[in-house]
Structure 1
């Protein structure tokens, strides 16, 4: 893509440079665009998006804008010149955001600051309309299931996967904890991806929430439990400090039972399952190494039933 074409697509003035990719995820990569008006993060999807996927991104972008307008510390979503937030440049779908200098992902952030910020985020009430009024996606509440887990283990053993023994050892506990998964009840628009990759410290020591592209309907209590798990680090004191700060800031979520950890379990399991199947289907050493790193992270930091019980006990004193 040409730098000026990207700048024109978002009305950002005269472009001076567009970098090579500086970061990548599973579905896209980020480049840094420099223009006369400043620096911007340009996110480009690896594959062309469907009409439905573009509609989902537009809905998520509207929520992101509402959070920005409410004063949530985040990168500003840039409006596309022809409306919305998704622009098409040389048949590629792109989004643009103000550039923010960030530290590396870190789960050791101040838990009280994290709790207060998530409470402020949950106080942004966005209309449940259009794509935001759709059912909760299975990624956030459905189990993988015993049959599928055993099938992946069998395929991994047949392929000589280096993680097969570790997966076999952990499998009974993975299947056990999925019994707590239940459908969500009280819904509002939530971020849905508040892991350490997307809630980071900035270079000026503040906090910043990134990547709203997965935003959608969810129970804020379950998003809260997920954040308590991620940034509590299994330390009950940290977990309680985060939870108390969230409540003191007026956050609407409450963690009172095992089922409130459902979204954290479901997401971790779907992420892990995705890496496992990607390792099995990888066609080159680079893709296989990237998938293996994801598998090892999943197997090394699971959320199991005893962890859930300790978390619920911690936040309830």
Structure 2
């Protein structure tokens, strides 16, 4: 790892000083390393997939825009030749790497209710500072996997440990599809947002506030739908809803000037689509015999977590909506 760290230092022009590198995290999209050069801290990412350079440039532009407006985000560091992402030599493992400024904080972990109010303030800050989007939200956030894809994945999952849970989830996925079909793409004007603000992508800072990291999925969104998505990902597990935390997050969001206004189940289309598409993608990876073993194992873990609690039924989502109404920020 020392050779890789030294290569990153030179390639990205990170300056001189003592050099240390440690594991910073591991997610569905890649590995993150914490690189310290002297007193300067950086996040070094090695994505599993080929990097979309145009999407990465859009992400860098967004983070630069937010940073200029006082939002603490992991802005990008360009290589000495101006590139945002650089191919890693085969002698150092190959693949690609990118560097950003390190955002200091600790994991929220299993304490989402304890930071319900800071979460509302963070989301309002991001929505207020966000630029207007020039395009509509991506299909990942507006369209469900078609029924034939689920049939194929179920058939291929015969004998797998998640088979029964996947079959049990089909009714919920069908209900999602009906709601999403009625929802459309959302209300304009769209903003450019994080789009994946779940607890693993947020850090608790020393000042008690929250900081958003991992902006790879940033894109066009309806702020109401991102609010709804965030409430589900933070305060719902299966059919259990922390209604007090939902109300606290929405109340803080309103008081901080957040523009989202929940009105019905269709406002939850974004979370329904994203969780469903994520599950379908992880199933495809886990069932792909040609995929790297590490990726398949990681996908199996993601499938287990998703089927255990990330697909709440419409009844649970109705309770989220009712709890939001008690905060005064949902249409009656």
User: What's the TM-score once normalised by structure 2's chain length?
Assistant: 0.84
Match of 1:6 among 5, 8, 19: 8
Change (3 A) 1:54 1:105: farther
Change (3 A) 1:206 1:243: closer
Q: 2:319 matched to which residue of 1?
A: 310
Q: How does 1:190-269 map to 2 (within 5 A)?
A: 190-202=193-205, 205-233=208-236, 234-269=241-276
- C-alpha separation in 2, matches of 1:209 and 1:287: 25
Measured after TM superposition, the shift of residue 55 of structure 1 is 1.2
Matched, 1:273 2:280: yes
Deviations 1:189-213 (A, max 9, x none): 1111101111232366432110112
Measured after TM superposition, the shift of residue 303 of structure 1 is 2.4
Matched, 1:56 2:55: yes
Match of 2:102 among 98, 112, 126: 98
- C-alpha separation in 2, matches of 1:280 and 1:15: 46
In the alignment, is the contact (CA less than 8 A) between 1:115 and 1:246 conserved in 2?
Answer: yes
Matched, 1:170 2:169: yes
Measured after TM superposition, the shift of residue 99 of structure 1 is 4.8
- C-alpha separation in 1, matches of 2:19 and 2:160: 43
* Residues matched between the structures, number: 308
Q: SS in structure 1 opposite 2:33?
A: strand
Change (3 A) 1:175 1:213: same
Match of 1:123 among 128, 133, 139: 128
Change (3 A) 1:48 1:232: closer
Give 5+ residue unaligned stretches, structure 1: none
In the alignment, is the contact (CA less than 8 A) between 2:103 and 2:211 conserved in 1?
Answer: no
Change (3 A) 1:148 1:58: same
Measured after TM superposition, the shift of residue 175 of structure 1 is 1.1
Q: SS in structure 2 opposite 1:169?
A: helix
Measured after TM superposition, the shift of residue 169 of structure 1 is 1.7
Q: SS in structure 2 opposite 1:161?
A: coil
Give 5+ residue unaligned stretches, structure 2: 90-94, 327-332
- C-alpha separation in 2, matches of 1:115 and 1:104: 14
User: What's the TM-score once normalised by structure 1's chain length?
Assistant: 0.87
Measured after TM superposition, the shift of residue 54 of structure 1 is 0.6
Q: 1:144 matched to which residue of 2?
A: 145
Matched, 1:44 2:46: yes
- C-alpha separation in 2, matches of 1:228 and 1:219: 14
Q: SS in structure 2 opposite 1:255?
A: coil
Matched, 1:299 2:307: yes
